[in-house]
Amino acid sequence: MTNTVFPAQPTPLVDIVGSDEKFPVNRIYCVGLNYADHVVEFGEDPDKVDPVFFMKPGDAVVANGVDVPYPQHTENFHYEIELVIAIGKEAYNVSVEDAEDYVFGYAVGNDLTRRDMQLALKDKGMPWDPSKGFDMSAPITEIHPVEEVGHINEGRIWLSVNGDVKQDGNINQMIAKNAQIISKLSELYVLKPGDLIYTGTPSGIGPVVPGDVMDGGIDGLDTLTTKIV
C-alpha cells in the first residue's frame, strides 16, 4: 500500500443508465467551434476555422439536477448544450473508421463558460483555461451505454432557459463528427477509459443569472436540468 502525505481526492463518478455501476471520470476533453452556425455566431468564417480542443478537470462534472453557483470573475456566464462521448477503451492513433469501437456511451452535457473572461483571454492570445475549466463547469446526465442507444450521429439538440428555447439544432450539423473527434484526439493524447469528450455546441449561446433554470436534451438521451444559484 502506498503512503501519501494526505488522502487522495476521490475519483469523480457519473451515473450509468440501468446500472448500479458508475463511470469513473479521467479527463474531460472539449471541442470548440464545431457547429457552423456557432462559428458564424462568433463572427468567424466556418470555411476558415477548424474545431479547437481544450480541457476541463475531471472533477468539474456535476450530476443532473444539482444546482451550480454563479462563479466569481464573470459578469457574462453562458450555457453551451453538447453531446458527450464517454470513452470505454484505451485509444491511441485510431483511425476514423475504427474510432466508434472505443465509445462506451453517450450523455448530455453543458459546457458552462465565463464568456467575458474567454473573450478577454482570446484578445490577449492567452489560453482559455480559466474561462472553461473552473469548478462545477461540466454538468452531465447519466451515461447511456452504446448497447442501449447505438451510436448517436444525428438527432435534435436543444436548450431552454426558464422554458424559453435558446438553442435548437441537430447533431448532424457538427463540423467534426464523433469518429473524427475521437481519431484526432487519439493522435494528440492517449485516450483512456473514463475520458469524456464534450463535442461542441450549436448557435444560441447566451447568459444566465442566479435563479435561472436550464433544461437541455438530445434525442434518445435524457434532459439535463441545472439551476444557477
pLDDT interval class at 202 (50, 70, 90): very high
Distances (CA, A) of 139 to 18, 84, 125, 204: 20, 11, 28, 18
Distance CA 116, CA 99 (A): 35
Give the pLDDT confidence score for residue 42 in this predicted structure: 66
The fold of the 13-227 domain, in CATH, is Fumarylacetoacetate hydrolase; domain 2 (3.90.850)
Give the pLDDT confidence score for residue 33 in this predicted structure: 83
Q: Is the model's pLDDT at 181 over the cut of 70?
A: yes
Distance CA 192, CA 87 (A): 7
- Mean pLDDT, rounded, for 90-112: 98
Give the pLDDT confidence score for residue 122 in this predicted structure: 87
Q: pLDDT, tens digit, for every residue of 53-83?
A: 999 999 999 999 999 999 999 999 999 999 9
- Mean pLDDT, rounded, for 194-202: 97
Average pLDDT, the chain: 95
Q: Is 92 exposed, middle or buried (0-12, 13-18, 19+ CB in 10 A)?
A: exposed
- Mean pLDDT, rounded, for 34-58: 79
What are the structural domain ranges in the chain?
13-227
Distance CA 37, CA 21 (A): 38
Q: How many of the other CB atoms lie within 10 Å of CB of 16?
A: 19
Strand, helix or coil at 165?
A: strand
